[in-house]
Amino acid sequence: MLNLILYKMTSHYYFENQVLKILLIIGFISISNAVVYGQEEMQDAIISLEFSEENDSKTIIATAEDQDRLPIEDLELYFFVKRTFSLLPIGDAFNATNEDGVIEVEFPNDLNGDVNGDVVIVVKIIESDIYNDLTIEKTKNWGTPIVIEDPKDEKRSLWAAAANAPMSLIFIVSALILSVWYIICYIFYKLYKISKIKPMYN
């Protein structure tokens, strides 16, 4: 009787283990197929940029199309201006294309460019569910030119370069440095005089 009970319990656990293994295999296959299917569905979008200027208004016009040249609706695009160490976002927090695949973003008028006023405008597709990530860069003369002053023409001030520091500050710092070196030299001189003193013996 005991052997029969043990046999039934062993058979029951074995059946449960087999069912669990089958479920795990089915789940793994389903996940793998989902990943492969998702990768196959990703497409490349085509983004074209146009620029419009009317009076003091500057507008970036982006058009999104698929590989069949059909407009892409509700595609989120992100607009930036390249700065020295990062990208500066412009436009709204969320910029989605309309039914014609077009979106317009106003460019700010108070951004600095290089010495010629050139700025690099960056448009990105980021983490879309259907389309691959994409980055487009265009250089446009829409920035405010940076004026680099000649150091020779810079006035003397505390925040100026070393060559244009105030004369009073240069005099004080020089006097302090000379005082420190005088004290150091005086100490070495005294040590030298002490080393020349001959010991007295009775």
Q: Find the distance separating the first CA and the last CA of the chain, reported in whole Å.
A: 119
Question: Does residue 169 fall inside a structural domain?
Answer: yes
Q: Is the pLDDT of residue 3 over 50?
A: no
Output the domain CATH number for residue 125: 2.60.40.10
Whether residues 27 and 113 share a domain: the answer is no
Confidence (pTM): 0.57
Whether residues 70 and 92 share a domain: the answer is yes
Question: Does residue 59 fall inside a structural domain?
Answer: yes
Question: Does residue 145 fall inside a structural domain?
Answer: no
SS3 53: strand
Which bin fits 150, alpha (ψ -120 to 50), beta or left (φ > 0)?
A: beta
Question: Does residue 20 fall inside a structural domain?
Answer: yes
Question: Does residue 147 fall inside a structural domain?
Answer: no
Whether residues 52 and 121 share a domain: the answer is yes
- The domain of 174 spans 153-195
Whether residues 114 and 56 share a domain: the answer is yes
What is the tens place of the pLDDT at every residue in 86-136? 999 998 888 899 999 999 999 998 899 988 999 999 999 998 989 999 999
Whether residues 63 and 122 share a domain: the answer is yes
| Nearest 10 degrees: Cα torsion 77, 61, 122, 140 | -170
What is the tens place of the pLDDT at every residue in 125-182? 998 989 999 999 999 999 989 877 665 655 666 656 666 777 787 888 899 999 999 9
Distance CA 194, CA 188 (A): 10
Distance CA 97, CA 76 (A): 7
Question: Does residue 176 fall inside a structural domain?
Answer: yes
Whether residues 16 and 99 share a domain: the answer is no
Whether residues 10 and 54 share a domain: the answer is no
Question: Does residue 136 fall inside a structural domain?
Answer: yes
Whether residues 110 and 85 share a domain: the answer is yes
Whether residues 71 and 57 share a domain: the answer is yes
Whether residues 73 and 121 share a domain: the answer is yes
In the listed set 140, 163, 184, which residue is the last one of a domain according to the structure?
A: 140
Whether residues 52 and 135 share a domain: the answer is yes
Question: Does residue 79 fall inside a structural domain?
Answer: yes
Whether residues 57 and 98 share a domain: the answer is yes
Count of domains forming the chain: 3
What is the tens place of the pLDDT at every residue in 48-97? 999 999 888 999 999 999 999 999 999 999 999 999 889 999 988 888 99
